[in-house]
């Protein structure tokens, strides 16, 4: 963050094009997709493909040792504050670009096969493009509000894609659960943004980071802001206690799980902490909180992964656990910055790979339950080998990617003196290896227990698997100290530090992995009707019910709001609001009644009075015209006399 | 006050009283008779004022013919004989107006002539004078008057003719 | 020798009585009688003044008045009889069509 801005930005100036390409593709697919020969897939794949090419060029800039670049445009002045839209491109951004574009491209190609024949095929690709564009926008944002826009947009896309088959209630319920749960985390996130804007007067990330490093923000405010921002990360990256949405999100199509809930969206929280590291780093108490949450999450999620029958759920809990690893890495401070983000990078590759492979299996056996699988390594060799590579990476088997990244975190935990966290990470690594072995054995080994005729998936699906597998195998070396750990050159906080490789710690990690592997092997080599882990007794029941957290949330939070709060609000609306409205109506009625009375009495009275006066006068004057001749004669004579008097007197 | 004056005053009183009774009589025939008396006294006054032709004409025409006409009229219209209220509702106003007239006229006379002057002396009034004036100066009105009487005669006949006599 | 004002008073009395009669009597014939009374009062006036000015014209006029009065009574009674034929009544109150 402190690196000076690049003197010759070159390609970096056009980094925003990478964001715009998928967005344009979204619009094109929505309007023209159905008419295209490939139903809109062309736009999506081309856009992300071009984006990937550009991303690699951007990364090349940093490989050559270039510096970061920032450019912002004023969107709207709001009083003393200015909303801007812009791009901040540094090593982290470049790395994220490559990750998002690679995984998105593989997923889209894969989906051509996986989603073939789906009723909303075109819309699926439109949503994937929109998601990719939103994620890239999140990553490239130079100010917090633009980041928030990307953040919310990926949330919307997640909701849309999880609920892709919304005709079944379980799918739409999962989409709503995901959205609401992440939204619960977004509220503190928003207030965190407000705190920082209040503290610094700007939402520009570079300037906020500068202010934090210079000490212009008071420590208390910094801690508060960090904790609030982390709230968003808890929601989006599925940490305890808001992790409950991620397993349910597996209701969505598997490519969605691979792209969003493994490689990209869920790491948005990790990315946020990384991006705002200048705010987190000095806030010691906040960092302690972060590491506590991470520690809790990684272990409980790994334990839950042990007892799942659904292969996707295993991978989902695994993702939660690995996300906790990344956050734990970041929580170690400056020295943990690079390891944490490196793990984010590698995990994206092998988790996406495993999800796609699982999707391939599900596509072949038409079920996602491992109890109905078995012996698939013979019928689906490519899927098998790629899944093995991914699983090995996850378990931390050298020289696969996960070994380099996870090992770094574990080692760093010890080196920075977080011994408690070190123990937890070690334990989790053992459990990780265990459940991974279990999953692989149940799926690919033994005898086939299902009723279908599994066969290998078409090339359009297996090629992306191979690509990602290659990535998982190789990418790790980017962080290998033996190969000068170039990743650290690109993504670092503070001065670049190359940690020396510690064989001792590496050995301990491998041992731990081996332990888990052995345990898994011994329990699951032969299929037994009864799940061996039931031997854990009541502990198993606890795990089976996900620690009863879902029940607690439902009874404790959702139901009271749903029923009592809504009833109260409804009462308020009916009694008070409607009361006011009705009162106004009654008042108007009364006023109109009064006006009516006035009209009747006064106005009509006046009019009638005039008529009555006329009638009355007429009644009097009527006597003059009586028809009686003598009456007329009397008037005549009277007139004569009066005239005589008047004339003679005057 | 000379003797003529006494006679006049007596006659005037009689005439006034009978005129009063004329307008207040309950019986129409009584009223007609009272009319006779009044007209006669007026004739007598004429004679007293040495207007002999006018006086006799008065007696002849008025008392002799007109009163008879009235009586015929009363008879033909089956005038109610007997005591009945023959006055209408505006008696009060009529009385007031009558009195006003009386007051006005009396005041006028008194204002013009006072009580005493002038004295009337017999002079003109002979038939000779009347005839002379009538057939010399006033012959045209006289002829017109004859036409008038003719018209009145014809008119009366026409008016009172019954429609079924075609 | 007769004082003029006295004669005039007599004339005024007759006239006023006649006025009262015209206005107050219900029977049409009686109204006509009252009119005769008024005419006579006028005649008295004329004759008195003719004697005052020693001019015969006053009496000539009186003659004319008498003649006209006669004609008028004739016509008047004819009308009264007609009314009586049509309406069975000669009460002036009841002949009140002179309205609109």
CATH number at residue B22: 1.20.120.1200
A604 in the same domain as A462 = no
Whether C59 and B54 lie within 8 Å, measured CB to CB: yes
Residue C61 is part of which domain span? Answer: 26-91
Per-residue pLDDT, B86: 66
Annotate A622-636 with DSSP letters as a single string.
Answer: GGGG-S-HHHHHHHH
Query: What are C94's strand-pairing partners?
Result: none
**Both tokens of residue A215?**
């000490």
Q: How confident is the model at residue A442 (pLDDT cuts 50, 70, 90)?
A: confident
Residue B118 is assigned to a structural domain of this protein? no
Residue C14 is assigned to a structural domain of this protein? no
Residue C100 is assigned to a structural domain of this protein? no
User: Of B61, B88, B115, at which residue does a domain stop?
Assistant: B88
Residue of chain A whose alpha carbon sits nearest to that of B92: A634
Q: How many domains does the structure of chain C reveal?
A: 1
Residue whose entry in the numeric block shows the structure tokens 């100010």: A143
CA B8 to chain CA mean position, Å: 17
Residue C69 is assigned to a structural domain of this protein? yes
Residue of chain B whose alpha carbon sits nearest to that of C3: B119
Q: Which range (A86-100, A411-425, A450-464) has the least confidence?
A: A450-464
Report whether pLDDT(B166) > 60.
no
Mean pLDDT of the A622-641 span: 83
B84 in the same domain as B138 = no
Interface test with A, best of C23, C25, C99 (most A CBs within 10 A): C23
Mean pLDDT of the A209-218 span: 84
With CA atoms as reference, report the closest residue to B57 among C40, C2, C72, C12.
Answer: C40
**Residue A646 C-alpha, separation from nearest chain C C-alpha, in angstroms:** 19
A575 in the same domain as A461 = no
Q: Which of C6, C67, C90 sits opposite B9 (nearest CB)?
A: C6
Query: Who wins on pLDDT, A463 or C36?
Result: C36
User: Of B35, B59, B88, at which residue does a domain stop?
Assistant: B88
Mean pLDDT of the B94-122 span: 85
Residue C21 is assigned to a structural domain of this protein? no
Residue of chain A whose alpha carbon sits nearest to that of B108: A648
A607 in the same domain as A474 = no
Residue A535 is part of which domain span? Answer: 283-544
Q: How many domains does the structure of chain B reveal?
A: 2
Tens of pLDDT, residues A51-78: 999 999 888 888 877 778 888 888 888 7
A455 in the same domain as A404 = yes
Q: Which of B90, B100, B108 sits opposite A630 (nearest CB)?
A: B90
Residue B73 is part of which domain span? Answer: 3-88
Residue B40 is assigned to a structural domain of this protein? yes
Residue A229 is assigned to a structural domain of this protein? no
Residue A306 is assigned to a structural domain of this protein? yes
B130 in the same domain as B82 = no
Residue B110 is assigned to a structural domain of this protein? no
Report whether pLDDT(C35) > 90.
yes
Mean pLDDT of the A287-303 span: 90
Considering A3-12, B51-60, B70-79, the range whose residues carry the highest mean pLDDT is B51-60
A416 in the same domain as A519 = yes
User: In CATH, what number is assigned to the domain containing residue C59?
Assistant: 1.10.287.3510
A343 in the same domain as A376 = yes
Residue of chain A whose alpha carbon sits nearest to that of C21: A630
**Cβ neighbours for A160, distance < 8 A, ≥ 6 positions apart:** A127, A175
A401 in the same domain as A311 = yes
How many helices (H) and strands (E) are present in chain B, helices listed first?
7, 1
Q: Which range (A3-12, A242-251, A449-458, B43-52) has the least confidence?
A: A3-12
CA A339 to chain CA mean position, Å: 24
Residue A21 is assigned to a structural domain of this protein? no
Whether B90 and A634 lie within 8 Å, measured CB to CB: yes
Whether B90 and A644 lie within 8 Å, measured CB to CB: no
pTM over 0.80: no
Give the number of beta-carbon pairs within 8 Å between A and C: 30
Report whether pLDDT(A498) > 80.
no
Per-residue pLDDT, A1: 41
Q: How many domains does the structure of chain A reveal?
A: 2
In C, which residues are within 8 Å of A625 by CB distance?
99-100
Residue A643 is assigned to a structural domain of this protein? no
Residue A76 is assigned to a structural domain of this protein? no
Q: How confident is the model at residue B102 (pLDDT cuts 50, 70, 90)?
A: very high
First to last CA, chain C: 55
Q: How confident is the model at residue A574 (pLDDT cuts 50, 70, 90)?
A: confident
Q: Give burial (CB, 10 Å; 0-12/13-18/19+) of A509.
A: buried
CA angle in degrees (0–180, nearest 5) for B58-B64-B69: 115
Residue A131 is assigned to a structural domain of this protein? no
Q: How confident is the model at residue A138 (pLDDT cuts 50, 70, 90)?
A: very high
The CA dihedral of A342, A345, A347, A351, to the nearest 10 degrees, is 180
Residue B119 is assigned to a structural domain of this protein? no
Query: Who wins on pLDDT, C42 or B163?
Result: C42
Residue of chain B whose alpha carbon sits nearest to that of A639: B97
A195 vs A199: CA distance, rounded Å? 6
Per-residue pLDDT, A40: 82
Whether B54 and C2 lie within 8 Å, measured CB to CB: no
Residue C49 is assigned to a structural domain of this protein? yes
ipTM, two decimals? 0.90
Query: Who wins on pLDDT, A532 or A315?
Result: A315
CB contact B83 to C (< 8 Å): no
Annotate A336-404 with DSSP letters as a single string.
Answer: HHHHHHHHHHHHHHHHHHHHHHHHHHHHHHT--BGGG---HHHH-HHHHHHHHHHHHHHHT-TTSHHHH
In A, which residues are within 8 Å of C93 by CB distance?
628, 630
**Residue A615 C-alpha, separation from nearest chain B C-alpha, in angstroms:** 25
In B, which residues are within 8 Å of C24 by CB distance?
23, 87-88, 90-91, 94-95
Identify the contact set of chain A against chain C, taking CB-CB distances under 8 A. Answer: 625-630, 632-634, 637
B21 vs B48: CA distance, rounded Å? 24
Neighbours of chain C (3+ CB pairs under 8 A): A, B
Mean pLDDT of the B7-31 span: 92
Mean pLDDT of the B101-110 span: 90
Whether A638 and B100 lie within 8 Å, measured CB to CB: yes
Report whether pLDDT(A537) > 90.
no
Q: Which of B39, B119, B132 sits opposite C3 (nearest CB)?
A: B119
User: Of B30, B65, B88, at which residue does a domain stop?
Assistant: B88
């Amino acid at each position: 963050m402190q690196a000076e801005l690049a003197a010759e930005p070159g390609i970096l100036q056009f980094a925003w094009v990478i964001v715009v390409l998928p967005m344009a593709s979204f619009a094109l697919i929505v309007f023209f997709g159905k008419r295209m020969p490939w139903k809109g897939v062309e736009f999506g794949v081309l856009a992300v493909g071009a984006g990937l090419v550009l991303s690699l060029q951007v990364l090349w800039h940093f490989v050559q040792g270039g510096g970061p670049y920032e450019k912002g445009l004023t969107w709207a002045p709001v009083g003393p504050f200015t909303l801007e839209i812009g791009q901040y491109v540094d090593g982290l951004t470049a790395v994220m670009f490559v990750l998002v574009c690679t995984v998105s491209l593989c997923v889209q190609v894969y989906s051509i096969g996986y989603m073939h024949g789906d009723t909303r095929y075109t819309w699926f690709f439109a949503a994937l493009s929109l998601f990719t564009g939103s994620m890239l926008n999140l990553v490239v944002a130079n100010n917090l509000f633009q980041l928030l826009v990307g953040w919310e947009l990926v949330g919307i896309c997640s909701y849309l894609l999880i609920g892709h088959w919304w005709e079944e209630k379980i799918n739409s319920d999962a989409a709503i659960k995901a959205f609401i749960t992440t939204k619960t985390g977004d509220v503190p996130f928003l207030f965190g943004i407000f705190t920082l804007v209040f503290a610094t007067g700007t939402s520009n990330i570079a300037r906020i980071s500068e202010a934090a490093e210079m000490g212009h923000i008071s420590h208390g405010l910094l801690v508060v802001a960090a904790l609030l921002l982390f709230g968003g990360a808890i929601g989006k990256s599925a940490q305890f206690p808001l992790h409950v949405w991620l397993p349910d999100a597996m209701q969505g199509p598997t490519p969605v799980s691979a792209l969003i809930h493994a490689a990209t969206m869920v790491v948005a929280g990790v990315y946020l902490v990384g991006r705002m590291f200048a705010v987190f780093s000095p806030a010691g108490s906040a960092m302690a909180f972060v590491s506590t949450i991470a520690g809790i999450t990684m272990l409980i999620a790994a334990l839950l992964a042990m007892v799942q029958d659904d292969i996707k759920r295993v991978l989902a809990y695994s993702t939660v656990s690995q996300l906790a690893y990344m956050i734990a890495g970041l929580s170690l401070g400056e020295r943990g910055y690079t390891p944490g983000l490196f793990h984010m990078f590698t995990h994206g590759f092998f988790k996406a790979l495993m999800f796609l492979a699982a999707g391939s299996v599900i596509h072949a056996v038409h079920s996602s339950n491992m109890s109905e699988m078995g012996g698939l390594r013979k019928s689906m060799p490519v899927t098998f080998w790629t899944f093995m590579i991914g699983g090995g990476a996850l378990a931390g088997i050298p020289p696969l990617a996960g070994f380099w990244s996870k090992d770094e975190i574990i080692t760093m935990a010890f080196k920075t003196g977080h011994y408690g966290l070190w123990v937890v990470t070690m334990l989790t690594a053992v459990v990780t290896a265990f459940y991974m072995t279990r999953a692989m054995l149940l799926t690919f080994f033994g005898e086939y227990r299902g009723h279908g005729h599994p066969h290998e998936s078409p090339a359009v699906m297996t090629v992306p698997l191979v690509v990602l597998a290659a990535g998982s195998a190789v990418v790790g070396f980017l962080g290998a100290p033996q190969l000068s750990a170039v990743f650290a050159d690109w993504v670092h906080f503070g001065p670049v530090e190359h940690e020396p490789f510690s064989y001792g710690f590496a050995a301990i990690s491998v041992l731990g992995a081996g332990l888990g592997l052995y345990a898994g092997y011994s329990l699951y080599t032969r299929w037994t009707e009864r799940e061996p882990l039931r031997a854990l007794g009541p502990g198993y029941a606890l795990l089976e019910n996900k620690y009863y957290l879902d029940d607690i949330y439902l009874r404790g939070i959702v139901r009271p709001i749903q029923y009592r709060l809504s009833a109260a609000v409804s009462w308020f609306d009916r009694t008070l609001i409607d009361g006011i409205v009705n009162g106004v109506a009654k008042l108007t009625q009364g006023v109109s009644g009064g006006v009516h009375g006035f009209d009747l009495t006064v106005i009509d009275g006046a009019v009638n009075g005039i008529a009555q006066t006329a009638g009355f006068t007429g009644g009097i004057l009527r006597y003059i015209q009586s028809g009686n001749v003598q009456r007329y004669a009397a008037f005549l004579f009277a007139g004569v006399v009066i005239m005589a008097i008047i004339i003679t007197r005057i | 006050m000379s003797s003529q004056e006494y006679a006049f005053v007596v006659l005037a009183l009689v005439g006034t009283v009978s005129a009063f009774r004329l307008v207040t009589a309950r019986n129409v025939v009584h009223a007609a008779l009272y009319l006779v008396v009044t007209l006669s006294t007026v004739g007598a006054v004429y004679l007293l004022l040495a207007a002999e032709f006018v006086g006799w004409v008065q007696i002849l025409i008025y008392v002799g013919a007109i009163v008879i006409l009235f009586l015929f009229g009363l008879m033909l219209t089956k005038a109610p004989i007997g005591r009945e209220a023959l006055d209408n509702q505006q008696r009060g106003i009529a009385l007031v107006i009558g009195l006003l007239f009386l007051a006005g006229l009396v005041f006028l006379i008194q204002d013009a002539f006072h009580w005493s002057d002038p004295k009337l002396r017999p002079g003109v009034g002979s038939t000779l004078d009347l005839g002379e004036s009538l057939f010399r100066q006033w012959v045209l009105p006289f002829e017109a008057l004859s036409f008038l009487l003719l018209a009145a005669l014809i008119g009366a006949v026409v008016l009172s003719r019954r429609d079924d006599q075609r | 020798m007769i004082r003029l004002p006295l004669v005039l008073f007599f004339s005024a009395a007759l006239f006023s009585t006649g006025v009262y009669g015209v206005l107050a009597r219900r029977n049409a014939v009686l109204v006509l009688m009252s009119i005769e009374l008024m005419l006579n009062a006028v005649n008295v006036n004329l004759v008195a003044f003719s004697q005052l000015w020693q001019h015969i014209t006053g009496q000539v006029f009186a003659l004319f008045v008498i003649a006209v009065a006669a004609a008028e009574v004739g016509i008047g009674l004819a009308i009264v009889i007609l009314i009586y034929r049509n309406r069975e009544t000669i009460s002036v109150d009841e002949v009140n069509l002179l309205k609109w």
